[in-house]
Amino acid sequence: MENLRDKYEVVIGLEVHAQLKTKSKIFAPDGCEFGHEPNTQTSPITLGMPGVLPVLNKEVVNMGILTGLALNCEIPECCKFDRKQYFYPDLPKGYQISQYDQPICVNGYINVKGKRIGITRAHLEEDAGKLVHAGADGLAGSSYSLVDLNRAGTPLLEIVSEPDMRSSEEARNYMEELRNIVRYIGVCDGNLEEGSMRCDANISIMPKGSKEFGTRAEIKNVNSFSALQRAIEFEIDRQIEIVEEGGQVVQETRLWDDNSKETRSMRGKEDAHDYRYFPEPDLMPLKISREWVNEIKNKMPELPQAKRERYIGLGLSEYDASVIVEQMGLALFFDEVLKSGANPKTAVNFIMGEIAAYLKEEHIEISDTKLTPENLSELISLIEKNTISNNIGKQIIFEMLKDGTSASEIVEKKGLSQITDENALKEIVQKVINSNSNQVEAYKNGKTQLFGFFVGQVMKETKGRANPKAVNDILKEILG
Ligand code: ADP
Ligand code: MG
């Protein structure tokens, strides 16, 4: 397959659904929190009862505008809602309220690892309910399905990219950056596994150098970044094989099965006219004043790209900067530590080193620990003032994480402050030398690698409290 790959260019465009983190639904007052008893978040509006009317939730519009601005989109003065008709048991009204030809956001882009990926548009819509197939739920052989309408009416923002991506890796990077953005601006959890962010990948291939895109297949049901990449890779090979055998790729929707690692045809792709879109008669077109847009613009938090650049400016490597930005909890914690004046490099070494390892091991977030930014900052200043060694710092951080004790308390309680007094250290060094006369002789006869052994002995003697530089200097002086 590898050399066949060289003959083709891959074209990818993503449609990403982000579930907006509002308290109530897009057109109804019922809550949209995850995890409630089935069918308990279902007002008559959600159930599509006759005579009810949708009322637009202003917070949904605020979040739509905020996201559009973060994606460098234009926010048109006027947008409107449309009915998209289709029949399915999880859709009580028989239509979904969406936005068709006048969406809330248009013409945007984001920069992903140096490449600009266009955003065609982003539009607001309501989610459908969920079908629970009883057979799949352990009741094998049962032939019915249950419908849970709690999710129906949950606000979604569908973000549609231009077909600008050329590899599965680019698609994954785009999706990851999009997730970073919606999380940092606080509009979406960005949790692919739980479905608060969902992605349909449109994929086509064309001969290298061709100007005309091939027919695309749309892949649904990818619920992790790695599954997205795997699904795209599988699909590229599938399409190449069809074309190489003289066949044609058909436009269709395919489902990714992450167990069997393949895509399967789900249905032929509907064209827009199949949905019989028409303007939603129960909702007025929505006028968005420039004042409204500016008010939201002024509240824009720092975006991931800007954060990475700021961290690099502080002396972090590009790699460290992106790793920390990927983990929003850690990045926000890091920002607090910086505010209290700590050295950025030392802070990031602690956060990405001991702290990240601890969190991973315990399967928790930084907010689940007792460590405060002030305490980490104090620990760092104790190291910089040479009150304790870096090694001691790395040991006591775990107690700080577990108990919330401050570094100075631990140092005092355990007598961990560093020994920098030259006379005291000389005495200890002398003692080590006296009791290791064989090694001293070997050292003097040229076995200079024993130097580390002496340092180690002094550290052992002082329980790690000796200032390493001072020990080195004294040893050199005495051993000659
Ligand atoms: P639909 O709702 O029919 O899927 P959309 O316009 O909402 O149509 O989305 C189309 C998506 O497919 C966009 O992300 C776009 O970039 C992408 N796309 C369009 N043409 C191609 C193509 N030939 N190959 C790959 N992706 C494509
Ligand atoms: Mg689509």
Q: Are residues 200 and 126 in the same domain?
A: yes
Q: Which of 168, 202, 254 to mutate to test the pocket of ligand 1 (most atoms within 8 A of CB)?
A: 202
Q: Is the CB of 86 under 6 A from ligand 1?
A: no
Total number of domains constituting the chain: 3
Q: Are residues 159 and 284 in the same domain?
A: yes
Between the CA of 130 and the centroid of ligand 1 the distance, in Å, is: 25
Q: Is the CB of 162 under 6 A from ligand 1?
A: yes
**Boundaries of domain holding 330:** 302-414
Which protein residue's CA is at the shortest distance from atom 11 of ligand 1?
Answer: 13
pTM of the entire structure?
0.88
Q: Are residues 368 and 451 in the same domain?
A: no
pLDDT single digits (tens) 379-434: 999 999 888 888 889 999 999 999 999 999 998 888 777 777 788 888 888 899 99
Pick from 404, 403, 390, 402: nearest CA to 464: 390
Write out the two tokens for 109. 């882009």
**Number of Cβ atoms within 10 Å of the Cβ of 37:** 8
Between the CA of 200 and the centroid of ligand 2 the distance, in Å, is: 7
Between the CA of 120 and the centroid of ligand 1 the distance, in Å, is: 10
**Measured from the CA of 15, which atom of ligand 1 is nearest?**
14
Q: Looking at 396, 414, 432, which one is the last position of a domain?
A: 414
Q: Is the CB of 204 under 6 A from ligand 1?
A: yes
Between the CA of 120 and the centroid of ligand 2 the distance, in Å, is: 13
Ligand nearest to the CA of 235: 1
Write out the two tokens for 398. 């775990």
Collapse the DSSP code of 177 into the 3-class scheme (helix H, G, I; strand E, B; otherwise coil) and give the result: helix
Ligand nearest to the CA of 103: 1
Q: Is the CB of 88 under 6 A from ligand 1?
A: no
Bridge partners of residue 109, in order along the sequence: 118
Q: How far apart are CA 47 and CA 50, in angstroms?
A: 9
Q: Are residues 142 and 49 in the same domain?
A: yes
Q: Looking at 252, 277, 295, which one is the last position of a domain?
A: 295
Q: Are residues 336 and 394 in the same domain?
A: yes
Q: How far apart are CA 307 and CA 302, in angstroms?
A: 6
13, 213 Cβ separation under 8 angstroms: no
Q: Is the CB of 13 under 6 A from ligand 1?
A: yes
Q: How far apart are CA 34 and CA 222, in angstroms?
A: 20
Q: How far apart are CA 357 and CA 362, in angstroms?
A: 9
pLDDT of residue 422: 81
Between the CA of 10 and the centroid of ligand 2 the distance, in Å, is: 17
Q: Are residues 48 and 148 in the same domain?
A: yes
Q: Are residues 37 and 129 in the same domain?
A: yes
Q: Are residues 139 and 249 in the same domain?
A: yes
Question: 1 pLDDT band (50/70/90 cuts)?
Answer: low
**Measured from the CA of 218, which atom of ligand 1 is nearest?**
4
Question: 297 pLDDT band (50/70/90 cuts)?
Answer: very high
Q: Looking at 397, 414, 431, which one is the last position of a domain?
A: 414
Q: Are residues 286 and 310 in the same domain?
A: no
The percent of residues above 70 in pLDDT, for the chain, comes to 97
| Identity of residue 232 | I
Q: Are residues 286 and 307 in the same domain?
A: no
Q: How far apart are CA 380 and CA 320, in angstroms?
A: 19
Q: Are residues 229 and 361 in the same domain?
A: no
**CATH number for the domain including 434?**
1.10.10.410
Q: Which of 14, 121, 216 to mutate to test the pocket of ligand 1 (most atoms within 8 A of CB)?
A: 216
Q: Are residues 402 and 429 in the same domain?
A: no
Place of tokens 């140092």: 411
DSSP 76: -
377, 341 Cβ separation under 8 angstroms: yes
pLDDT of residue 305: 97
pLDDT single digits (tens) 6-58: 999 999 999 999 999 999 999 999 999 888 999 999 999 999 999 999 999 99
Q: Is the CB of 161 under 6 A from ligand 1?
A: yes
Ligand nearest to the CA of 101: 1
